[in-house]
Structure 1
């Protein structure tokens, strides 16, 4: 009887503690006294963060832990419900550990991920992350995006230096070309202003704020159609699954102990209508026959259940416009195709870098000097971010079906190259996972795939037709990767130490 009573007490205590945490998180909607002071005292805050997604929440916690007074404005503080941002690569997990946020993947039924399984024309190959020497806890993590974000928001809001406010930011406050703060609306349309020497825009949905700080525009190469498969055992446990289908890839990965996320890529900005049943028919007739046999039954069951959602896949290289008093991070100024799941790794890597740059500064009030100094951030982040961005864009184009025979050979060569194992798989997977994001390694492996494809064509003996096809394959490979590299910036990507900002020292004041 006593053991039952203890169990009941523990359950009630856990329920109370969870509710208490949620009250603290949402109490910001009523604006606590510290935030009320910030509305009237322009020296009360150090940083304003627009957006409390992965980047905004992690940055708020990181700066707040360093003693900075942080004010975060977020459109909706309820748990997000998204179909992407559910796979954190091992490289991103290591950054999460470095930021002190590793416990945010605990108690949300997150699943450990150890690599990928690749399926193509009835064949499959398994690619493991090169985790040797990384520590027993290091692996990828897959989860419900909303649960992960709520854990980070709660952790940030538990700091006395961080205030979360639910509201919609709609304009930057500027004086003489210097960003002084943010205007935002709370419930009922009431407008408020908040001031700080540094404003960080992390949410790409605030396009009017982003446009004043960035010249690049997002492109939409494709859309993801999302389903949740239940009572489903993946062919390779604790692995992501990529099916090289026609016209483009299909992804499967666990998001809890009982659910598997399926993302069907559809090229272009338009997808079949869900409301009319056109989408369900497309998934049944076109996609289902290409799904691995073990997954077809739960895939069809998910279609019948009807919870079909879609979202555009955006891609945007980083072209920031340095503005005193403001800086861009996260999806606000840099996006890549989500095929490789590299977005959170880039964001967390950027936060570690920004934290390290800001730590030596006693204050941020010398905004002109700070703006000049933070150009170093945009330079230092380039090799890692550009490698992950370029790989995502190039791999998506290679994995898509094509009527061009040379690109068909490139797709086959990529699958066969990865199937070789050893350095031929660990090298590319180390790039994809964020464990070794080196630009030269990316270029070397990409063109090694193309040369391998040419070698396959020359067997058992070369011919003029095969030589011509091989030439087209090499040219096609260049046409895939070189424009992406050019958009990212060749000098910043490969030779950042030739950029003057690379050597900027912290302001002396």
Structure 2
């Protein structure tokens, strides 16, 4: 299908991305973007800005838009190294709570016109069994919550288009070279007064050491993403990856209509049809859902970026990534995909995955890390998004956490009458940061802890973790609150840390029962005494998975 044909699917009344996007004219426009050379030659460098925002990714652009709408008479500077469409292999699925945050920020229609696909829940496959975990029902009784999946770059361009359309946002293409401020005796950045700018490309005639310094009347917001160069001011030493996600794209025909498949029976029927000769429809077990296959080297995640494209993310546990030289990485990925999507359980899918893997010129990989947020940062600046806080991308909760951070922070800033008080009066900003840190914590803690804990279970590098994975699947299969409340954690709609602990240890006690009774297929063998010992050792393993991560998240 052509791009216009894909986009025309948005006209379906059942699609949440239907209708035109109000800022579509600014999508690829560069006329609103000020170059670094023009910035230092014209009045822009001499203007007084209320706030400076570093990074125009999903979080930075959403923050700039909301601040601009809240204070139409203010002036904002939004700094981005490149205003062309970015290309990433994560950040392509937004959970329902993230979509809620977009609504709160006035960006509810940002998914329009980019070929986004509605997401209704998760299909999980393990040892030949299918499980559907739908999103929670709406309190008003009007169906269930829905997420969206999309091309990351297209969503970012829609967000940037909204910023370009605001007269009080200066969109600058430049590099943020360093934060200007005061440091303590041990070299820690204590106060931020502004940011030094440099050219976005090294071919520019101006250097970086003597670039202009912009000093806002209010705050400097650091939103420069997962590869943040300013995170070092929060965390001194680099963090080793937990695992690596390796991604490529699977191309296919669209499904016949916008109906998703309600339950594992529907998934099985769809798979059987795709396996028929000549049928080239979407090969996913459950289109319009996140699909997680648990029988590979690590979990394999599949979700649509459009009706004709599916992102495949195969997790390889461990801090070291197999080398692509000599084909080692591809051999590991092939082994994982063949095990996760076996021919007996997924007719038609395995062949397409292997064909797409072999046809990919380059396998794109990204390290998956856990970096907790900290409430201690320099006065005059606020870190948001992945610059502040990173979790494993398995559960797709990164943008949800970041966007709710923006919602909470902008609500607090809206109540501040004086912009200059934010930078001149340390107590004012300290109070706002403290309130923001505690209000953001429940949702961020649940999403972050769940991502790390689920990856530990799903990657299962020991018999005890394999037993916990089996118990988790059985637990989610029970239905009722045993399915829907964990679904609320995944979607970001149920920010309750204590409830998360309850369900996690309920899974652990189910694992104990499976092991002692000898009903486990993941951890077999042993006398009754051995089974009792290993069962309670599994409880210790479960505690060691979740409690250290939760304790880290609870630190001030």
The answer (yes or no) to whether the contact 1:213–1:320 under 8 Å persists in 2 is: no
What are the within-5 Å matches in structure 2 for residues 267-346 of structure 1? 267-292=317-342, 293-294=346-347, 295-307=349-361, 308-346=363-401
Q: How many residues align?
A: 473
Q: Following TM superposition, by how much is the alpha carbon of 1:19 offset from its aligned partner in structure 2, in angstroms?
A: 6.3
CA distance, structure 1, for counterparts of residue 465 and residue 306 of structure 2: 36
What are the within-5 Å matches in structure 2 for residues 2-401 of structure 1? 21-24=27-30, 27-29=33-35, 36-41=42-47, 44-67=48-71, 68-133=74-139, 135=142, 138-175=145-182, 177-186=190-199, 187=201, 188=204, 190=206, 191-196=211-216, 197-204=218-225, 207-215=228-236, 217-231=238-252, 232-292=282-342, 293-294=346-347, 295-307=349-361, 308-366=363-421, 367=423, 368-373=426-431, 374-401=433-460
The answer (yes or no) to whether the contact 1:143–1:255 under 8 Å persists in 2 is: yes
The answer (yes or no) to whether the contact 2:24–2:158 under 8 Å persists in 1 is: no
Deviations 1:254-281 (A, max 9, x none): 1101011110001123323335433223
Residue 331 of structure 1 aligns to a residue whose secondary structure is helix
Q: Following TM superposition, by how much is the alpha carbon of 1:459 offset from its aligned partner in structure 2, in angstroms?
A: 2.9
1:49/1:26 CA distance change after superposition, 3 Å: same
The answer (yes or no) to whether the contact 2:477–2:483 under 8 Å persists in 1 is: yes
Q: Which has the higher helix share?
A: 1
Residue 321 of structure 1 aligns to a residue whose secondary structure is coil
1:184/1:431 CA distance change after superposition, 3 Å: same
1:276/1:163 CA distance change after superposition, 3 Å: farther
The answer (yes or no) to whether the contact 1:214–1:321 under 8 Å persists in 2 is: no
User: Tell me, which stretches of 5 or more residues in structure 1 are unaligned?
Assistant: 1-13, 493-509
Q: Following TM superposition, by how much is the alpha carbon of 1:33 offset from its aligned partner in structure 2, in angstroms?
A: 7.8
Residue 505 of structure 1 corresponds to which residue in structure 2? Answer: none
Q: Following TM superposition, by how much is the alpha carbon of 1:113 offset from its aligned partner in structure 2, in angstroms?
A: 0.5
Q: Following TM superposition, by how much is the alpha carbon of 1:38 offset from its aligned partner in structure 2, in angstroms?
A: 4.6
The answer (yes or no) to whether the contact 2:26–2:161 under 8 Å persists in 1 is: no
Q: Following TM superposition, by how much is the alpha carbon of 1:229 offset from its aligned partner in structure 2, in angstroms?
A: 0.7
CA distance, structure 2, for counterparts of residue 466 and residue 35 of structure 1: 75
Q: Following TM superposition, by how much is the alpha carbon of 1:160 offset from its aligned partner in structure 2, in angstroms?
A: 0.7
Deviations 1:17-63 (A, max 9, x none): 9666522466322677899545224xx21111111111101101010
1:269/1:260 CA distance change after superposition, 3 Å: same
Residue 183 of structure 1 aligns to a residue whose secondary structure is strand
Instruction: Return 346-355 or 64-73, whichever deviates more.
Output: 64-73
CA distance, structure 2, for counterparts of residue 21 and residue 269 of structure 1: 38
Instruction: Return 343-352 or 321-330, whichever deviates more.
Output: 321-330
RMSD: 2.4
The answer (yes or no) to whether the contact 1:214–1:333 under 8 Å persists in 2 is: no
Residue 23 of structure 1 aligns to a residue whose secondary structure is coil
1:31/1:91 CA distance change after superposition, 3 Å: farther
Residue 174 of structure 1 aligns to a residue whose secondary structure is strand
CA distance, structure 1, for counterparts of residue 32 and residue 134 of structure 2: 41
CA distance, structure 2, for counterparts of residue 289 and residue 35 of structure 1: 59
User: Tell me, which stretches of 5 or more residues in structure 2 are unaligned?
Assistant: 1-19, 184-189, 253-281, 520-526
Residue 476 of structure 1 corresponds to which residue in structure 2? Answer: 541
The answer (yes or no) to whether the contact 1:46–1:69 under 8 Å persists in 2 is: yes
1:485 aligns with 2:550: yes
TM-score (norm. length: structure 1): 0.87
Q: Following TM superposition, by how much is the alpha carbon of 1:382 offset from its aligned partner in structure 2, in angstroms?
A: 1.1
CA distance, structure 1, for counterparts of residue 444 and residue 163 of structure 2: 25
Residue 475 of structure 1 aligns to a residue whose secondary structure is helix
The answer (yes or no) to whether the contact 1:335–1:343 under 8 Å persists in 2 is: yes
1:454 aligns with 2:512: yes
1:219/1:379 CA distance change after superposition, 3 Å: farther
Residue 35 of structure 2 aligns to a residue whose secondary structure is helix
Residue 483 of structure 2 corresponds to which residue in structure 1? Answer: 425
Residue 73 of structure 1 aligns to a residue whose secondary structure is strand
Of 466, 483, 494, 2:531 maps to 466
1:473/1:143 CA distance change after superposition, 3 Å: same
Q: Following TM superposition, by how much is the alpha carbon of 1:132 offset from its aligned partner in structure 2, in angstroms?
A: 3.0
CA distance, structure 1, for counterparts of residue 393 and residue 329 of structure 2: 21
TM-score (norm. length: structure 2): 0.80
The answer (yes or no) to whether the contact 2:164–2:171 under 8 Å persists in 1 is: yes
1:460/1:251 CA distance change after superposition, 3 Å: closer
1:20/1:209 CA distance change after superposition, 3 Å: closer
The answer (yes or no) to whether the contact 2:443–2:495 under 8 Å persists in 1 is: yes
